[in-house]
Every structure is written in structure tokens, then in C-alpha cells.
Structure 1
Amino acid sequence: MKLVDTHAHLDLLDDPAAAFERAKQAGVGQIITVGIDLESSRRAADFSRDLYGVFCTVGLHPHEVSKVGPDLWGEFKLLALTVSAVAVGECGLDYYRDLSPRHLQRDAFAAQIELALDLGLPLVVHDREAHSDVLNMLAKGGAERVGGVVHCFSGDAALAQELVSLGFSLGITGVITYKKSDELRALVKKVPLTKLLIETDCPYLSPMPHRGKPNEPAYVTHTHLALAKALGVSPEEVAQVTTDNARRLFSLPYMED
């Protein structure tokens, strides 16, 4: 069973084409490369055109909300329709780095929830130390109509259950391989496997044994194995279910093993 890396930033890799080939050799059949602003969303769109098995999202990261202009959301919509984007995002809130004023982050997040509803696409959500506001905005914005994923999930079991009840999945990264991630390894046991996705967030969050080096889609295999170990189920089952989860959420085409 081939894996899906549901959250990558191919445009931030030194040699995306080479990384793509290594991913294929490692058993990664599909990759979703994620936009963080209009320029990176356009680059993601280019990858989705040029590399078979790569799909793109369009979105504005909370760090980048100063780039909002009067035509931005219309440009995102046009791009999404032109390239058949599979999701809106990476969008959300980041109260850890606070690189953008919080009220502007919330405005941009609300606009992208509306855009996702308009396009009928799921959301790729960034949530760092903003759990309550993220949950409230998703609920009040009607995001359960399209669902999505909270990528690199860092909340507790209660938040996980609230998100699952809204129809959202949780993205599990290489963090699950870290020695100090006992809480995450315990948490995934409390979430239905049908609501878990695996991702790299490359070039960030490299799993063991590659920690400290740039991450890439091929390394999602380490996350896959660590998740299987944490759940106490076979790697084959985790591969099958997480791949099916990704296909279902993002409407990805079936791929032969």
C-alpha cells in the first residue's frame, strides 16, 4: 500500500524533483504540496501540473496575513478552480510566534473558511497555541460542511474529540517519533484511525533518525511506522486506512499499489 504525504512544502526544498523521485522509491504515491501565500500557492499549482501524483492547495498562512489585498481571495478562487486544488489552506491562527496581529489572523482565517465553503473544498488548518479560537471559528463558520485537517496536531484529547465531531481529521507529523512525544503517542489511541492522516510538513519537523536535517516526503514512512507502533496495529493497516482517509478527504484519485 502506497502512502500519502498530506502536507508538504515542495517549493521550500532545494531539489523538489529529486525529492519527489526519492518519495516514489520509498513508497509514497501521492503528495499534497501546500500554499502559504499567493506566490507559493502558484508554485504548488505548478508542481501539481508537472509531477504526476502531486496535488496542491491554495491558502494564506497566519504569518502572511499582511499580504491581504482587495483582490486576494478572488485570485485564490480563480487559481483553485484553474488547477483543481484539493483544499484551501494552509490557513488558521498562530498565537505562538504572533508574527501577525491576531485580529488580522482571525479575519484572514474567516475569509478562507468562507472560500472553502464557496469552493466546496476541505480546509488545511494551522493551529499553534490558538486552540479555542480555531475551534470556535471553525464551528461558527460552518466548516463542518466541508471538513478538513488540523495539520501537525498539538492539542489535547478533548480538543481532538471536538474537532473529530466537526468532521475534521488530525495530521500526524514526525513529531510522533521524538523521544519526548509520549503525550502524542497516547493521544492517537483515543482518536479513530479513520480520522488520522500522516504528513511531513517538509522541510520542517524531520522524524527520527533524520531530525536536525531538512525533511522530505520520503520520510513520511518513519511517521507511518511510529504511528502503527503507537496504536499497536500493523503498518499495513495504518497505510491502508490513512491512505483511504487522504483519498476521501481530498478527493484524490485511486492509485495502484
Structure 2
Amino acid sequence: MFVDSHCHLDKLDYSSTHSGIGEVIAKAKACNVTDILSVGVTLDAFPHMMELIRPFDNVYASCGVHPLDVESEFSLERLYRFSSDSRVVAIGETGLDYHYQPETKDLQKVRFEQHVALAVDIDKPLIIHTRQARKDTLSILRSGHAEQCGGVIHCFTEDLAFAKAALDLGFYISISGIVTFKQASELKEVVKALPLDCLLIETDSPYLAPVPHRGKQNQPAYVVEVASYIAQLKGLSLSEVGLKTSKNFHDLFLRRKNSFDQ
């Protein structure tokens, strides 16, 4: 079994690549992908994403504002209200991206701090995006006591020191199809060095399709290729990587959901 711990189902091409979300879910199921987390990036798009995934019991959601979307319409009240939905198992995608939008750095910090405070308040884990902002990302997580809610550094491309600092805060490290890319030599070494106990796998679809699908639109079914590559790097069986990363997903996201439902 496998889990796609981070994708954007509302961003996939349903006009030509897939006939609809049901086909995407079926393709994933055929590859033994049992659970999927569809990640929100703006508040305006959140209701449509929820309408899209609502019929599928094995698809969960997160709610948040991506650091590259911090200038989109925002209301803290809406963020709290949307995050209270029982299908929402995480807060984010949130974080900092100084690579593409350094000019919004100050607003990114404010929004990130608001997401951390919400996650701690309602005890739902964080989904973190970080790029060229290692110091500030860790500083905000620490000052906001993010260790109380935990979370994941998604689509990890940082160094081993950053990974260890995130682990010290109780965070998981999520590996995407980037690990299969020829130029991702540092990431491959990080994956080798980290214990399987702290890893998740993801597609970030429709982006970053792994080899051998690179150049195509990504989809949840392709998360198996990520697991397979990690297995090769670490000298493990594919089933071991699938089972352990699936357990990690359930421990991080669904343990809380089950406690809420009781």
C-alpha cells in the first residue's frame, strides 16, 4: 500500500489527460495507492477543491495559503472556519519562499505565523513549503511552538542539517519525484541518511512527475515511482517503503482525525 501525502487534485487536467477526478482516484487505486491528501493553496479555491473530493472517502484535505499566494484574498476567520471541516486533516500549504517572491517576504512571514498559531490552537499538523528561507522557516516554527502540532516539510529539497532541525521539532520529511531527477544528488544523500521512520512520499501533482514519467502531468498513481526510488537508495524492499511511509502518514494526519471523530 502507498499514500500520496501531498497533491493538488483541483489543479489536474480534466479536459484531456483525465476524464474526471474519479478516473484519477481509480488509476491510483490500481497502483495500490490507498489514501490521498489534496492540499489547498488559496482560500478562494478551497470550496471548489472540497466539492471535488467530497465523494471520495480516501481523499483528505488541507486548508491554507501558499507563500506564493499571500497576496490572494485572505480572512483569518475564513481560514479558521474552513480548517474546522472534518475532512481537513492539516493546515497549509504554508511557509516561506524567498526564491520566487522575495518582495512579499514580510507578508509571507505574517501569514506563516498565522497558520502556525491556528495549527497549534486546533491541533492539526502543518504542511510547510520552504525555499531559500531556512533560517526564517525554523525561527517561526520554533517561536510559534510548532512542535505542539507537528507537521511535514513537503517536497523536501533542503540539506541534511535542515532536515535534522525539522526532525527535532517533530516534523516529517516528505520526498517527491525530484529525488528521481539526475541532478538531485544532494537530496539523494539526504534520503540515504534519514531513517524511514521520518519519511513521507508525495507527488505534488500535477507538478514534478518522477522518472520515467518526467515531462508528463503528474498524478497520485506515480507516487509508487517515488517509493521505488527511495527503496533503491536505501536498499529496502518496495513494500517496506510503502507500508512504513503509509504508517507515518496515518500517524501524523489520521490519528488526530480519529480522535476528533470519537
TM-score per shorter chain, which class?
Answer: over 0.9
* 1:123 aligned partner: 126
* 1:189 aligned partner: 192
Aligned-pair Cα RMSD in Å: 1.5
Q: Tell me, yes or no, if the aligned pair for 2:200 and 2:249 is still in contact at 8 Å.
A: yes
Q: Tell me, yes or no, if the aligned pair for 2:44 and 2:73 is still in contact at 8 Å.
A: no
Structure 2: which 5+ residue stretches go unaligned?
A: 15-20
Q: Tell me, yes or no, if the aligned pair for 1:65 and 1:100 is still in contact at 8 Å.
A: no
1:66 aligns with 2:80: no
Task: Among all aligned residue pairs of Structure 1 and Structure 2, give the percentage whose two residues are the same amino acid.
Answer: 39
CA offset at residue 130 of structure 1? 0.8
Deviations 1:187-219 (A, max 9, x none): 112212111000000000000011111100000
1:227 aligns with 2:226: no
Structure 1: which 5+ residue stretches go unaligned?
A: none
* 1:84 aligned partner: 87
CA offset at residue 28 of structure 1? 0.5
Give the TM-score taking structure 2 as reference length: 0.92
Rounded to whole Å, the distance in 1 between the matches of 2:37 and 2:85 is: 17
CA offset at residue 45 of structure 1? 2.1
SS across alignment from 2:215: coil
CA offset at residue 178 of structure 1? 1.1
Q: Tell me, yes or no, if the aligned pair for 1:8 and 1:217 is still in contact at 8 Å.
A: yes
* 2:13 aligned partner: 14
1:203 aligns with 2:211: no
Rounded to whole Å, the distance in 1 between the matches of 2:120 and 2:73 is: 19
Rounded to whole Å, the distance in 2 between the matches of 1:53 and 1:64 is: 27
* 1:178 aligned partner: 181
Deviates more, 1:37-46 or 1:179-188: 37-46
CA offset at residue 82 of structure 1? 2.7
CA offset at residue 162 of structure 1? 0.5
CA offset at residue 233 of structure 1? 1.0
1:213 aligns with 2:231: no
Give the TM-score taking structure 1 as reference length: 0.94
Deviations 1:22-79 (A, max 9, x none): 111111110000000112222332244211200000000011111254xx12112112
Deviations 1:128-182 (A, max 9, x none): 1111110111011100000100101111111110100100111100011111222
* 2:50 aligned partner: 45
Deviates more, 1:123-132 or 1:91-100: 91-100
Q: Tell me, yes or no, if the aligned pair for 1:45 and 1:55 is still in contact at 8 Å.
A: no
Which of 143, 150, 158 is the aligned partner of 2:161? 158
Distance 1:30 1:47, change over 3 A: farther
Q: Tell me, yes or no, if the aligned pair for 1:63 and 1:99 is still in contact at 8 Å.
A: no
* 2:142 aligned partner: 139
Rounded to whole Å, the distance in 1 between the matches of 2:89 and 2:41 is: 14
SS across alignment from 1:32: strand
